[in-house]
Amino acid sequence: MRSHYCGQLNETLVDQTVSLCGWVHRRRDHGGVIFLDLRDRDGIAQVVVDPDTAEAFATADRARSEFVLRITGRVRLRPEGTQNPKMPTGLIEVLAKEVEVLNTAATPPFQLDEHGRVGEEVRLKHRYIDLRRPEMIEKLRLRSRISHNVRAFLEGQGFLDIETPVLTRATPEGARDYLVPSRTHPGSFFALPQSPQLFKQLLMVAGFDRYYQIAKCFRDEDLRADRQPEFTQIDLEASFVSEDDIMGISEAMIRQLFQEVLDVELPEFPRMTWADAMHRFGSDKPDLRIPLMLVDVDDLMQQVDFQVFSGPASAADGRVAALKVPGGGGMSRKVIDEYTKFVGIYGAKGLAWIKVNDRAKGIEGLQSPIVKFMENVIEELLDRVGAEDGDIIFFGADKARVVNEALGALRVKLGEDLNLYTQAWAPLWVVDFPMFESDDNGRLSPLHHPFTSPSCSPEELKSNPAVALSRAYDMVLNGTELGGGSIRIHDQAMQSTVFEILGIGAEEAREKFGFLLDALHYGAPPHGGLAFGLDRLVMLMAGARTIREVIAFPKTQSAGCLLTDAPGEVSADQLKDLNIRLRQKAKAETGNE
Ligand code: ASP
């Protein structure tokens, strides 16, 4: 139906007859001449309809916003003075000969250029209209280029694209499963995969050597942060590899992606141990664009007569850390109060501070509610953080976890508020993660997933699991975890040891992962891999604020789809087929029989 996309028109086509198909972006009546801005996914072209072409004029006169038209006409240069150099097609226009209405449109719930006036809910409910906005088209086009580039790179490296099942057994990645009832096995359920983890390992046992997949994953989590219940991973796995091999391939892939798609040369990817990252940045995904750092002052604070500091400084699980903000001494009381509230979100009970007005004057030159308690250590403290006139120093004193989370988040917030960024892109690898984390009752759970290989022997692991490190690695970019993976356990005895430490008994292990344990003893090669979150990667590359902006049909914070109204009720017959009877309360709430 069309000869060109609207956005493709330019001066080289002057005097040619073209046919365009698209939507009416805007219609203006200028003293007897009608101007139509016709839009398709490639851009917008200005169409002029003259009363001389009576039929076309009458049709154009009827056209309204978002009508679907086919227009045939001659390309001509816009008259002097009416050209728009900001628009790619701004030098030309199309003088219409024929205008055909392919479909009418009801008045849209929002004008495309006024999307900001309606809430995100309205945009999600009418996503097909929201997606007509050039910015949205741009983001999905970028997403398509990114997946294409990644596929081309991995294919070039000998990775095979292999699909793994979506109806499967639970794959633990630390979230709840989405379950699907089976009709043919009454009372049994499939789980949607939290990741293709187990299948990609089985593909290695099968000898495929290098696998990848752009895979949908499903995790039923509380969606506090910017998460989606279904999301996409670039998932890969390879055999006969070490950490360096997987990190090398992944880094080359991301480097090439940024080069080819954004024309950005990424800097070096430093490697940082998990312990170091927590220590210096309070986070396992430090944003290295921000030059602020946490400094340990436990040893000094053990010597002060101030229980709020000396307590955590002496406790085994406590920490006192300082965060110096160069030039931050001008912060008002109100601003400090706001930051105090902010760290409260992370459980911090307060935010102590010292302003360095004039260091040469000693304690007199400092301004702070707490400095009177620490006269004995103040000079050493100021030296240690490298304090200069005009700085402010914040303190966190609590359980190490609280201090890390609170000061880690404060560091990122200060970086953003004060625009402290020193570079556009700051990638790194975080390595040497602990194997396990323990809850308040001392129960261990895997920091990654239970198939991650420790960097020690089964005996060492068993004798002191709490300090064991894993062969896991995460790629972090600008404070976002882009991807993570590990060298896997390929030895059945080691896998059983890990299950045992996690309190998964032999019977339970067999029932849940018997197929994996069996596979491990039929000749499993050493293997490892990694998965990138595609949505986050696209979000960062697009400069978008949330992953919802780079997903065509995202779900809401409460894991629902406003467009289709999913999840929805099902008929009594369907439930009967599935051998499911709803409990009384659910019945009353959903109105299901
Ligand atoms: N399956 C892991 C995840 O989804 C990634 C990996 O270990 O390859 O986080």
Predicted confidence (pLDDT) per residue in 219-228, tens digit: 999 877 789 9
| Contacts for 443 with CB less than 8 Å, ≥ 6 apart | 503
How far, in Å, are 27, 117, 166, 328 from residue 122 at the CA level?
A: 24, 10, 31, 41
- Which residues surround ligand 1 with Cβ inside 6 Å? 173, 195, 197, 484-486, 529-531
Q: Which atom of ligand 1 is nearest to the CA of 200?
A: 8
Q: How far is the CA of 202 from the centre of ligand 1 (A)?
A: 14
Please list the residue range(s) of the chain that carry CATH number 3.30.1360.30: 290-422
How remote is the CA of residue 349 from the centroid of ligand 1, in Å?
35
Beta-strand ranges (E) seen in 3-78 are 17-30, 33-40, 43-49, 68-77
Cα 279 to Cα 78, 412, 590, 592: the distances in Å are 63, 15, 49, 53
E strands, 441-576, in order: 444-446, 472-477, 480-487, 527-533
User: Where do the CATH 2.40.50.140 domains begin and end in the chain?
Assistant: 6-103
User: Which ligand 1 atom sits nearest the alpha carbon of residue 529?
Assistant: 8
Residue 553, both tokens: 């049909």
The domain defined by 6-103 folds into OB fold (Dihydrolipoamide Acetyltransferase, E2P) (2.40.50)
Q: Where, residue-wise, is CATH 3.30.930.10 in the chain? A: 138-271+429-550
Q: What is the pLDDT of residues 442-501, one digit of tens each?
A: 889 999 999 999 999 999 999 999 999 999 999 999 999 999 999 999 999 999 999 999
For the chain, give the percent of residues with pLDDT over 70.
98
CA atoms in the 13 A half-sphere facing the CB of 390? 2
Q: What is the pLDDT of residue 593?
A: 43
Here the tokens at position 20 are 């365009």
Best of 164, 212, 235, 249 for a ligand 1 pocket test (most atoms within 8 Å of beta carbon):
235
Whether residue 346 is predicted with pLDDT greater than 90 in this model: the reply is yes
Q: Which of 164, 168, 197 to mutate to test the pocket of ligand 1 (most atoms within 8 A of CB)?
A: 197
pTM value is 0.94
Q: Is the predicted pLDDT of residue 591 greater than 70, yes or no? A: no
Number of H helices, E strands in the chain: 18, 22
Q: Which atom of ligand 1 sits closest to the CA of residue 528?
A: 8
Identify whether the C-beta of residue 351 lies closer than 8 Å to the C-beta of residue 339.
yes
Overall fold of domain 138-271+429-550: BirA Bifunctional Protein; domain 2 (3.30.930)
Atom of ligand 1 nearest to the CA of 217: 4
Instruction: Say if residues 7 and 44 touch (Cβ distance below 8 Å).
Output: yes
- The tens digit of pLDDT for each residue in 21-35 reads 999 999 999 878 999
529 CA → ligand 1 middle, Å: 8
Residues 251-302 have pLDDT tens digits of 999 999 999 999 999 999 999 999 999 999 999 999 999 999 999 999 999 9
Q: Report the top-level CATH class of 290-422.
A: alpha beta
The residues, any chain, with a CB within 8 Å of residue 97's CB and separated by 6 or more, are: 17, 53, 56, 72, 73, 74
Average pLDDT over residues 75-91: 94
In ligand 1, the atom with minimum distance to the C-alpha of 237 is 8
What is the distance in A from the centroid of ligand 1 to the CA of 484?
6
Calculate how far, in angstroms, residue 544's C-alpha sits from the geometric centre of ligand 1: 24
Rounded to the nearest 5 degrees, what angle is found at the Cα of 219, between the Cα atoms of 251 and 170?
100
